[in-house]
Amino acid sequence: MTPDFSVFGETPSAPIALIATPGAEELATLIDNRLIKLFNESHLGKKLQKDTFIIKSTCPRFTNGDAKGLIYETVRGKDLYIICDPGNHGVTYTMMGKEIPLTPDEHYANLKRIICACTGKPERITVIMPMLYGGRQHRRTARESLDCAMMLQELYGMGVSDIITFDAHDPRVCNAVPFMGFDNYFAHYQILKSLVKKFPDINIDKNSMMVISPDEGAMTRNVFYASVLGLDLGMFYKRRDYSTIVNGRNPIVAHEYIGSPVMGMDVFVADDMIATGDSILKLAREIKEKGAHRVFLAATFSLFTEGVEKFSRAYEDGVFDAVISTNLTYRIPELKDCEWFLEADISKYIAFIIAAANVHESVSNLLDPSQKIRDLVARIGK
């Protein structure tokens, strides 16, 4: 069920304000438009129309690469939500006469600059970071840094009260900050909604469709899909060569499949992100070779760090039928021209989360989309 926001704006913890760090402006604008609609349809909104919740800010650079954070409006007493996209490599700056793309480190530094520019004046600071900075370096297995845990502790020390993120690589990293709010949401419903809209003939029943996890790390995500959809579950596990490191990781020797036969079935595969795409394409080929009817690949974050060419070739070869992802992080421009790419808009979902938090309403039903997914499945074919 969607929360009741009929009193949105009447009993807030403080007036809502949004700030987008460089690279997060697109998502912030979409969220802002959703919030404006919610506000203006509320009781208070009928009395006082709201134009925007966004507060102007910037992080200008000096020619040697140094930077600072600037906020152009007051944030005193605001319920402030700072939106940051550490994965946006499409933002550049000039340093020593060269055009330099922002790295995740620099995005995180900009976030800290904006928090510092607030000088402790907001009533509450919440960071919306859909893809966690350092999220892939979430645990220590040798003499390694703990980047994500360090980031969370640093933000807590700067006065951040809550983190809102999506599909954290390992949500147990929240143990690093036991006294800070850490809400880990998922885009399950929005991804399935996009899939059903594109493929209205899909039959979501265990005789026609199954879910396969690409590896053991993605099992929790795929168990959820299989359970709420009532489908059988299979799994691939990655056999790696731990004696070699290529591009910072141990290369995969083979994918081994465990599960019921996929012959004639539609197969849904979900992961948290697509980076190079090598693993998921190899998996899709193996599923097709085993006789699957259609293969749908889903990922919360579509990074495509090596471009889309290999995916376009695989699509033309019939290896997969669609890639479904979200607008939670930067998407390379080439994706707009790919007929195999489906994008789920998550801005409405985030607006509901912000509105619920602002009026002290529970977000439990927003954290668990099970009923909305069941309702979606029930509508198929009607």
**Three-state SS string across 149-184, please?**
HHHHHHHHHCCCCEEEEECCCCHHHHHHCCCCEEEE
Mean pLDDT on 198-214? 94
Mean pLDDT on 67-89? 96
pLDDT tens digits, residue range 207-257?
A: 999 999 998 888 999 999 999 999 999 998 877 777 777 776 677 777 788
Q: Which two tokens stand for residue 177?
A: 């900050």
Q: Is the dihedral of CA 21, 72, 125, 35 positive or negative?
A: negative
What percent of the chain stands above pLDDT 90? 72
Of 382 and 277, the one with more pLDDT? 277
Of 122 and 249, the one with more pLDDT? 122
The string over 361-382, giving b where at least 16 C-beta atoms fall within 10 Å of a residue's C-beta and e elsewhere, is bebebbeebeebbeebbeeeee
Question: Cβ(283)–Cβ(214) under 8 Å?
Answer: yes
pLDDT tens digits, residue range 293-325?
A: 999 999 999 999 999 999 999 999 999 999 999
- Rounded to whole angstroms, the Cα distance separating 138 from 135 reads 6
pLDDT value of residue 3: 45
Q: The tokens 């929005």 sit on which residue?
A: 190
Could you please report the per-residue DSSP string of 129-144? -SS-TTTTS-S-SSS-
- Axis crossing angle, helix 309-316 with helix 278-289, rounded to the nearest 10: 10
- Rounded to whole angstroms, the Cα distance separating 305 from 307 reads 6
- pLDDT class of 2 with cuts at 50, 70, 90: very low
